[in-house]
Structure 1
Amino acid sequence: MTGTRPRTAVITLAAGRHEHLLLQQDGLAASPAGPDHYVVVSMADPAIAALTAGRKPAADVIGVPRQDGRLPLAAARNAGAARALSFGADLLVFLDVDCVPGPELLNGYARAARDGALLCGTVAYLPPAPAGGYRLDSLHGMARPHPARPVPEDGQVVRGGDPRLFWSLSFALTAPTWDRIGGFCEDYAGYGGEDTDFAATAAERGADLWWVGGAPAYHQYHPTQHPPVQHVDDILRNGAIYRERWGTWPMEGWLREFASRGMAAYEPATDTWRRK
């Protein structure tokens, strides 16, 4: 954005991962240009408010309930954006709770921001934390970039990105661009699909995906399963919603892996994936 620095809100969602959230808060506090507003959306985690209280930047904690026992990721992001916009945010920066911002993340996003652009900064992955935990000044040297995502140099912006590569770990957009896209579809609940839908909606409504160098985030380690078998029911449910809205199935790599493990099956006659 040109001219004066935009009023910037950072929005994160949390349910557990308390140590990760606190390190993110520390990273924001250490940034040369901190956020004007830090919105933490607690997804049915009553400990979040006390956990973040009295620390910098001050956390504006709001809560959303679970949806039929599922984490309401889409609804929580919409609630966080609504809160930030009600306080006059010009630029919305969404960070996954596992992501620690690099010192220049906010400035990098502010420099690149334009109406009509959906911005994705680089995210590099950290190994397990050493004894005593991560140190902010050592994250850059420890982290490794994702092999399937662009990694622009500092100050470089790669326009015309593939919406299918959009990720919600770290992204930003101006308030008018958020309004143009219309937020996340709240039909989705639980793990998977809502961010792919958001990127498809953004593309349909003329928002271009830009990969932004110089807006780094570092993803804190946590154990994962590949494929995410613990989320198979959510992925099948949300995949079906996406299929109904867009005519194709998302997350097909995972679906095929579920099938290879006897957990799901594809029915070509109806273009349907079902649980086995």
Structure 2
Amino acid sequence: MIHVSALTIAAGRAAHLRNVVAGFQAQHHKPSELIIGVMQDDEYTDLPATDFPIRQIRVTAPELPLSAARNAVADAATGEMLVFVDVDCIPAPDFITGYLDRMAGHRGLFMGEVMYLPHNTSDAGLDFDRFAAIAVKHSDRQGPPAAGLEACADYRCFWSLNFALWRQDWLDGPRFDEAFTGYGGEDTDFGRAWSESGAPIWWIAGGRVYHQYHPHCMPPVHHLHSVLRNTEVFARKWGHRTMEHWLYAFKLMGLIRNTTDGLKVLREPGPAEFALCEQQGHMPYANSRRVIDHLHMQAQDGRISAERTVREQRALLLPAAE
């Protein structure tokens, strides 16, 4: 039997975490352990009873230490296989078996399926049949293959929301770069480092999680400053910025400007920007494309072509030319 370490990181979201724990207890192939990277002062209490041990590792910093917390839980893992889920993702009962079936004989990073639940659907306990009937896919994310696994050719698609790898690959491969603090960029950097190492990134059919509804902003105007800081961390490392679709949205909103000396904040986001970017109760997920399309429609020159959008986003990858 292959021993699996289930890993998550959390700050707040206690009700979501309880559902994550219950989801792992419902697995057909239960994990040998669950390790929680706790990014707050106090450990979590009142977690559901499980047949496997739960360990909590505190990793705190002035801003969310997402990279450091993921490194800490992976380093502490003892299983042969490591599965990561975010605290807002409930693993389906065949989550672990799906990964085991697809990963056999392969190495690399493996990304499972993510389905989004509407508002108030995970508050009353876990009903996986209902979840399967009402959850939806994200319109901006590549869907899983019909069966088996499929190579992911673009490292920018890597997303730590739901992924797995063999422990030996973790020990031998890149880590999450702890120079990224707060929100944004650490996943893209990890995918880039993994791609540069020559190891593959895979989409798989299976390994499903159900993303629990919680209101947030996309693009993340509430994390404007950490996104700007982290895109420059990425640029110093790889020669160009990342998160260009968010930067483009910030530019369209008049929040930033690209200069020869770097990205400059013109003003802080206000009520109009938060109202535009916030996830509303009828939305299973927030969507940057929706916001960018809305801003395009408001532009004086009307609808902006996809080619122009790509060109203007790419222009934000480097400082403005003199």
- Give the TM-score normalised by structure 1: 0.90
User: Cα–Cα, structure 1 residues 132 and 249, in superposed 2: closer, same or farther, change >3 Å?
Assistant: closer
CA RMSD of superposed structures (Å): 1.8
Superposed counterparts of 1:50-65, under 5 Å: 50-52=45-47, 54-65=49-60
Asked if 2 retains the 8 angstrom alpha-carbon contact of 1:15 and 1:45, the reply is no
Shift of 1:152: 2.8
Alignment match of 1:118 (pick from 102, 109, 113): 109
Cross-structure match for 2:31: 35
Structure 1 residues 120 and 219 mapped into 2: Cα distance closer, same or farther (>3 Å)? same
**Letter paired with 2:96:** L
Instruction: Check conservation: 1:74, 1:194, Cα contact below 8 A.
Output: yes
Change (3 A) 1:53 1:218: closer
Q: Which structure's relative contact order is higher, taking Cα pairs within 8 Å and 6+ residues apart? A: 1
Deviations 1:210-254 (A, max 9, x none): 101021111000001122111001100111000111112111111
Amino acid at match of 1:233: H
Distance 1:139 1:119, change over 3 A: same
The list of structure 1 runs, each at least 4 consecutive aligned residues, that deviate by more than 6 angstroms after superposition, is none
Flag the 1:131–1:92 CA change in 2: closer, same or farther, 3 A: closer
Deviation at 1:274?
A: 2.6
Larger radius of gyration: 2
Q: What's the counterpart of residue 169 of structure 2?
A: 177
Worse-superposed segment, 182-191 or 193-202: 182-191
Other-structure match for 1:81: 74
The 8 Å contact of residues 108 and 155 in structure 1, kept in 2 or not, is answered as no
Match of 2:97 among 97, 107, 131: 107
1:142 Cα deviation from its structure 2 partner: 1.5
Q: How many residues align?
A: 264
Q: Residue 96 in 1 paired to residue 86 in 2?
A: yes
Distance (whole Å) between structure 1 residues aligned to residue 112 and residue 25 of structure 2:
19
Name the amino acid aligned to 1:231: H
- Uncovered stretches (5+) of structure 1, i.e. residues with no partner: none
CA change 1:248–1:218 in 2 (3 A) is same
User: How far, CA to CA, are the matches of 2:152 and 2:187 in structure 1?
Assistant: 18
1:216 aligned to which of 208, 219, 222: 208
| Greater shift in the superposed pair: 17-26 or 134-143 | 134-143
Q: Which runs of 5+ in 2 are unaligned?
A: 267-322
Shift of 1:60: 0.9
- Is this contact kept in 2: 1:14–1:45, CA < 8 A? no
Residue 262 of structure 1: how far off its partner (Å): 2.3
In terms of mean alpha carbon deviation, does 17-26 or 172-181 score higher?
172-181
**TM-score (ref. length: structure 2):** 0.77
The answer (yes or no) to whether the contact 1:12–1:94 under 8 Å persists in 2 is yes
Structure 2 counterpart of 1:186, one-letter code: E
Q: How much identity, in percent, do the aligned residues show?
A: 35
Q: What secondary structure does 1:52 align onto?
A: coil
Aligned to 2:183: 191
Contact 1:100 1:217 in 2 (8 A): yes
Secondary structure at 2:159's aligned position in 1? Answer: coil
Q: What are the residue-to-residue correspondences of 1:108-187 with 2, within 5 Å? A: 108-113=98-103, 114=105, 116-130=107-121, 133-137=124-128, 138-152=130-144, 155-187=147-179
